[in-house]
Structure 1
Amino acid sequence: MPRFRLIGKIKKKHLLITLLLVVGAIVYLYRAPIFSFIQDRLTLEIRTIREVVSEEGAVISVVEKASPAVVSIVEKKVILNPFSGPLSQEQGIGTGFIVNANGTILTNKHVVSDQDVEYSVVTSDGKQYEIKEIHRDTLYDLAILKVNASGLPTLSLGDSNLLKVGQTVVAIGNALGQFSNTVTRGVVSGVGRGITAGSVFGGQTQYIDDVIQTDAAINPGNSGGPLLNLSAEVIGINVAMASGAENIGFSIPISLIKPVVAQFESDGRIIRPFLGVSYYLITENEAQLRGLPQGVFVQKVITGSAAKKAGVRVGDVITKIDGKEITQTNSLAKVISAYNVGDSITLTVSRKGKILTLKATLREAPTN
């Protein structure tokens, strides 16, 4: 019995040596592809780590550059306390950002829509400035504010026409009206969306088309804050979040706003060409499903406006302006903004199945 056990041990030892020799031979013969595979795996992991670190570094850099130019919008109200009498109450209601060192600030119109209260801004270093002027845009949910200051930090305005779906973006704002300079990161989820925007703190609502959709969290109080690319350039003004949903926020493309800002800095007020209709956008999909023409369905015609004088009626669908089709990405607001006050335009209108051509002369938009 001991002899058989000894022979068994010897056989096992030989078998192990043989296996090691075989494995060694295989490794030697295929050493190049094996080493190449290991090298590729290590390179991929290192590259992935570098990309993550690089993107994190880029986001941190954006925040450091942009935050000093982001401000909180504060509303001051006088309330009546039955025991102590009138009390002054301040509440953070939104966000803005500085675009000119002499005190020009951009925000949303719905943030400062109440004309019976006083507004101020608080900078990232805690300084408070009373807002001296509020210029409200009639076309977009935009307000341009002025404060008496100089040497303020500013943000650069980028080109939202270059945006790509999936591109990384950063939002900064006064979340919930109390957490100033809150930072969130996400991507561009879509472009050319249409929404109805308003403030949870009260005020007006407005239909806005051609906005940017992002999954960067945009909370109440973020309205009016900047949406930034990784070059720390503003590519949108945060305007709304989808109620009843998560990670669906919207921003007004900055390329639509830049001409307004340039004109304001030149003339000291917002001058807008004005057609004078309230409308609902009929998208291509809706047009196909309902058998309607694609364009804007006119819900209201403003008395004395260019549209009224041209003969536009409620229920009309404006499909083209000077031959340019009205679509999600080529909105009525975008087309009109390319003209000047006093320009004549040709409207192609669908009315009860008939195609009409109407002439309109654009007027200046009312101040409020």
Structure 2
Amino acid sequence: MEQEPRSVQQTQSRPGVPRRRKLALISACVITVVWLMVGAAVLGSWLMTQFNKQSIQSTPDGNLVMSRDEADISEVVQRVSKSVVSIVTTKNGRTLSRATVQQGAGTGIIISKDGYILTNKHVVKDADRVEIVSSDGTQYTDVKFVGADPLNDVAFLKINGVNDLPAATLGDSGTVRVGQKVIAIGNSLGRYQNTVTMGIISGKGRPVQASTSERSGEAESLTDLLQTDAAINPGNSGGPLLNMSGQVIGINTAIVSDAQSVGFAIPIGAAKGLVRSVLASGKIQKSYIGVRYIAITPEVRAEYKLSAKSGAYVGGSRDKSAVVAGGPADKAGIKDGDVITKVNDKLIGEQGGLGSLISEFLPGETVELTILRDGKEQKVKLTLGAYKV
């Protein structure tokens, strides 16, 4: 019976050994955790240092990273620049005491592989010698003046003896939108060949009075122009205004000298008929319908009490009809007071002026005109005539 208390005593005395072991174990665990934390911190610091080094070393050159817009612009420029040439003109003169030589510069657009060049009339006017320089620096001196539009600032040259030039693609100026992005390429200031600028279409159907210089007494009335804020400088005349597909939608032709970012281009549609005639026959053939007209604006609409908001008003004077007797319009039945609203399916005003739309066709071709007469719409067929200077 004396064994039970001892057993109890033994039972009560045993917890002393595990407590010491547990404390030792806890201390070891704490030390281990501390060392693990220190190790983790050291390792983390080392890894961060290595990551930062790698990040610095692998940062790409921002100049070599192109956005989608930049890639699109660069691709267009690389593709079309080969079709843009610089034009250098020489004009001989004489003063009372000595002979003089005057040089000018402009830009041109290759429109055929056998050397036809589209440019502005004022670039080559009265030139005694014309030299063309391609984008790769090749100089062409055997250059012929083909002819010019009698009513617009458009002219054509021909490089003789070539058959492998890269021709530009002509677009549709009738579907151009205000606000769309455009690119201009030209021989800026006559010194910086194939200079590239970018902007938007700021307006359509603009009329301007253009002269070659402020001192010049000569001025030319140009109508139905595209307005752009892409920088156009002297020397850019005759160069292309491009859409973002690389198609020529205009021919850069004029700037406002006392304003910023106000430039003008002839819509390419106004030259398409001439382009077709030059490529087919090597000659200038311009179509006409034989009417005098006024583009309808809010002021014109109010003055003549017209119901149409856009179109071409066939308006004569009291003693002279606006319809040329015996001309294409006269034969088609067009009368004074008519409003021409469409050429085929293209709206006059929204998709180009009457003159520009007619200029897309060749003499002898037939178009359908939509007219308003006494408030009623009619359609007439008209066979275009050949304009005679």
Q: State the TM-score, normalizing by the size of structure 2.
A: 0.65
Shift of residue 305 of structure 1? 7.5
2:238 paired with 1:216: no
1:144: Cα distance to partner? 1.8
CA displacement 1:230-253 (0-9 Å, x = unmatched): 332222211222343221222223
Q: SS of the counterpart of 1:64?
A: helix
Asked if structure 1 preserves the Cα contact closer than 8 Å seen for 2:287 and 2:358, the reply is yes
The reply on whether 1:123 has 2:114 as its aligned counterpart is: no
Larger Rg: 2
Residue 97 of structure 1, CA deviation: 1.2
From the superposition, tell whether residues 81 and 298 of structure 1 become closer, same or farther in structure 2 (CA, over 3 Å): same
* Match runs of 1:248-267 below 5 Å: 248-267=262-281
Aligned partner of 1:290: which letter? E
Distance apart, 1:77 and its partner CA: 1.4
Change (3 A) 1:302 1:239: farther
Check if 1:206 corresponds to 2:221: yes
Cα distance, 1:106 vs. partner? 0.5
2:340 to 285, 298, 320: 320
Aligned equivalents of 1:252 and 1:242: distance in 2? Answer: 15
Q: Pick which of 241-250 and 198-207 moved more.
A: 198-207
Q: Does 1:166 align with 2:186?
A: no
Residue 65 of structure 2 is aligned to residue 54 of structure 1: no
Q: Which runs of structure 2 are paired with 1:49-198 in the superposition (5 Å)?
A: 53-80=67-94, 85-92=98-105, 94-114=106-126, 117-124=128-135, 125-150=137-162, 151-191=164-204, 193-198=205-210
CA distance in 2, matches of 1:91, 1:107: 14
Query: Could you tell me how far apart the structure 1 residues matched to 2:125 and 2:315 are?
Result: 24
Task: Report percent identity of matched pairs.
Answer: 37
Query: CA 1:69 to 1:170, structure 2 compared with 1: closer, same or farther past 3 Å?
Result: same
Residues 223-302 of structure 1: pairs in structure 2 closer than 5 A: 223-276=237-290, 279-283=293-297, 285-293=298-306, 295-296=312-313
Residues 16-27 of structure 1: matches in 2 within 5 Å?
none
- Matched-pair contact (CA < 8 Å) for 2:328–2:385: no
Q: 1:265 to 1:340 in 2, by over 3 A?
A: closer
1:204 Cα shift? Answer: 5.4
Contact 1:107 1:142 in 2 (8 A): yes
Q: 1:306 touches 1:361 (CA, 8 Å); kept in 2?
A: no
Structure 1 residue 137 displacement after superposition? 2.0
Provide the residue aligned with 1:329 in structure 2. 351
**1:240-296: CA deviations, max 9, x gaps?**
22343221222223244334323321122232222345654232x223443543534
CA contact (8 A) 2:140 2:159 kept: no
Deviations 1:15-40 (A, max 9, x none): xxxxxxxxxxxxxxxxxxxxxxxxxx
CA deviation after TM superposition for structure 1 residue 307, in Å: 7.3
1: CA distance between counterparts of 2:202 and 2:342? 31
**Unaligned 5+ residue runs, structure 1?**
1-48, 352-356
1:365, 1:244 → 2: CA distance? 36
Which residue number in structure 1 is paired with residue 57 of structure 2?
Answer: none
d(CA) in 1 for partners of 2:343 and 2:268? 25
Code of the residue aligned with 1:134 in structure 2: it is V
User: How far apart are residue 184 of structure 1 and its match?
Assistant: 0.8
Pair 251,338 (structure 1): closer, same or farther in 2 beyond 3 Å: closer
SS at match of 2:144: strand
Q: Which runs of 5+ in 2 are unaligned?
A: 1-62
Instruction: Name which of structure 1's ranges 229-238 and 323-332 shifts more when overlaid on structure 2.
Output: 323-332
Q: Hey, what's the Cα distance between the residues in 2 that align with 1:323 and 1:98?
A: 28
Letter in 1 for 2:131: S
Structure 1 window deviating more from structure 2 (270-279 vs 230-239): it is 270-279
More deviation, 198-207/227-236: 198-207
Contact 1:198 1:240 (C-alpha < 8 Å) held by counterparts: yes
Flag the 1:338–1:159 CA change in 2: closer, same or farther, 3 A.
closer
User: C-alpha deviations, 1:189-208, integer Å up to 9, x for none?
Assistant: 233x1323534245651332
Give 1 or 2: higher strand fraction. Answer: 1
Residue 100 of structure 1 aligns to a residue in which SS? coil
SS of corresponding position for 2:264: strand
- Aligned-residue RMSD, C-alpha: 4.0
Q: Partner letter of residue 171 of structure 1?
A: A
- Aligned partner of residue 166 in structure 1, secondary structure: coil
Q: Supply the distance in 1 between the matched residues of 2:212 and 2:196 (Cα, whole angstroms).
A: 20
